[in-house]
Amino acid sequence: MEEDSDTREILPADALDPQPAESVESSSSCRAPPYSCPFSVTVEPVLFLSTFSLALQMPLYTQYLWDRISEDLGYNGTKGGGCNSSAPHDRLQKEVEALTAHWNLYISLGGFLVGLFVVILLGSWSDQAGRRLVLIIPSLGLAVQASIYLIVMYMKLPVAWFLLGRICSGLSGDFNAILAGCFAYVADTSDKRSRTFRVAILEACVGLAGMFASIIGGEWRRAQGYISPFWLVLAINLATALYAYLFVTESVTPDPEARLFSARHHRAVYDLYTSGGQGGHRARLWLYTLCFFLVVTVHFGSRELYVLYELSSPLCWDSELIGFGSAAQHMSYLSSLLGLKAFQLCLEESWVAIIGLASNITSLVVFSVANTTALMFTGYGLSLFLMTSTPVLRSKLSKLVDPSEQGALFACVACVEGLCSLVASGVFNSLYPATLHVMKGFPFLFGAFVLLIPAGIIGSLKCQEQRMINRETAVN
């Protein structure tokens, strides 16, 4: 039954056996939203808007923590020579850096520990209840988080109150649930040949949204402070939920009896990774999942440190430069999409992923020694194909399982992505203050070494597959 459903998404309607008119009408009324989108888009605006709100608030959120902690400690940026290359060892500045990194860690831990298990429930539940709910519920949770952040800023409450907002967002699935819903939707509505590029388009939406939000956020914060941008974050999250409700058509037929709180959702993920598979599929599933975990962990971990690294000496960037730097970072999503399309014409997908990892490794090495603005932007330039590896890995994972297992797979991938954020926050935000006096850019260098592991696994698996193909060809 699942195979027939998948075929109906790929083939035209007249190529399949006709259904009775009453059945078609009933299915359409069940799956259609109140309004049809006039453009040939589905979940792309959902991911674009959600990413825009997230990218708008993340640098501002870190800067707000920096300013509040600096105010509490009496650090005004001028003590001991100020934030410049002549005062790289200001004790008070180091204390502000360390406390900001630690609070980033505590708040992230609170949100992701809750969201880690909720994402599995929502993702697997969407196989029965439908994808739209998994897009609407997290958007409303992110709106609640923005509301709490606004209250903290208006009333100047202690920064510990940010933890409440993160927990509320985690209880709704957080941004990872939106990612899971969008990628599962693409898996429902694409065939294996086009899936990698469709996934890359979604990731390009992430990059474009991040680029625009970064440019706007830096300028806006300098002109009007922190509160006005967070009002926009609240409005965007509410608009995202409304768009998903009004315009996104269901890709699965909802079951009105589907239950959210059921052990079957976790059991589906367990069976996915423990049941037998033909041709070593389950072993490759584990290895590609490990690669995805390492790549995304390094990406999240290094991204959390960019703003902190740029705020302090010797770079001492202001909000405008931070905005341009973040925009340059997000440009890699668009350049990776174009690169992926070009590389697919002459290379296997595995080699495309390795090119992306090489781009990421070289950029991190440059970041680790960057002590000037020019060198920092050189690192951003070298990350040109940074994001070609993740769509390839998502697509490879999707192709290794049956159509009936797609929902459980993307629930697991969302869970892994939540775990990536958890581990990245713990490792990189702890490593940064611990190595400040040894080598300030050591966490970036550490990330570059970690990425050598997935590069080796992907290359080895590809060589193994090629040897099997050559052996079968020789026998025939």
For 262-271, the pLDDT digits (tens) are 667 667 777 7
Please give the pLDDT value at position 137.
93
- Give ∠ CA 265-271-276 in degrees, rounded to 5: 165
Mean pLDDT of all residues belonging to the chain? 80
- Rounded-to-integer distance, Cα 167 and Cα 164, Å: 5
Contact 162, 105 (CB under 8 A): no
pLDDT at res. 56:
86
- Residue % of the chain over a pLDDT of 70: 85
Q: What is the mean pLDDT of residues 324-335?
A: 82
Q: Which residue has the tokens 């781009």?
A: 359
Instruction: Check: CB of residue 59 under 8 Å from CB of residue 307.
Output: yes
Residue of higher predicted confidence among 34 and 294: 294
Q: For the segment 384-436, what is each residue's pLDDT rounded down to a tens digit?
A: 898 899 999 998 988 887 776 777 788 788 778 878 877 887 898 889 888 88
pLDDT at 127: 76
**Closest to 217 (Cα-Cα) out of 56, 51, 48, 50:** 56
> % helix / strand / coil in the chain, to the nearest 5?
80, 0, 20
pLDDT at 325 over 70: yes
**Across residues 273-288, what is the average pLDDT?**
76
pLDDT single digits (tens) 157-169? 888 888 899 899 9
Q: What is the DSSP string of 117-131?
A: HHHHHHHHHHHHH-S
Burial class (CB in 10 A: 0-12, 13-18, 19+), 94: middle
How far, in Å, CA of 412 to CA of 128, rounded?
Answer: 16
Is 43-74+90-252+260-475 assigned to CATH 1.20.1250.20? yes
pLDDT in tens, 26-66: 333 344 555 544 445 688 999 999 999 988 888 788 888 88
Band (pLDDT 50/70/90 cuts) for residue 80 is: very low
d(CA 408, CA 100): 37
Place of tokens 């806006």: 220
**Average pLDDT for residues 188-194, to the nearest whole number?**
80
**What's the confidence (pLDDT) of residue 456?**
95
Q: Mean per-residue pLDDT for 354-371?
A: 94
245-269: average pLDDT: 75
Q: Which pLDDT value is given to residue 288?
A: 94
Q: Over the stretch 96-154, which tens digit does the pLDDT of each residue have? A: 878 887 888 788 778 777 887 788 888 778 777 788 888 999 999 999 999 999 998 88
Does residue 109 contact residue 430 with C-beta atoms inside 8 Å?
Answer: no
Q: What is the pLDDT of residue 2?
A: 36
Of 276, 250, 269, 349, the C-alpha closest to 34 is 250
pTM: 0.73
Provide the pLDDT for residue 79: 40
| Average pLDDT of the residues in 200-205 | 88
Higher pLDDT, 23 or 219: 219
Higher confidence at residue 205 or residue 38? Answer: 205
Predicted confidence (pLDDT) at residue 272 exceeds the cutoff of 70 = yes
What are the tens digits of pLDDT across the range 428-474? 888 988 888 888 889 999 999 999 999 999 999 999 888 888 777 77
252 three-state secondary structure: coil
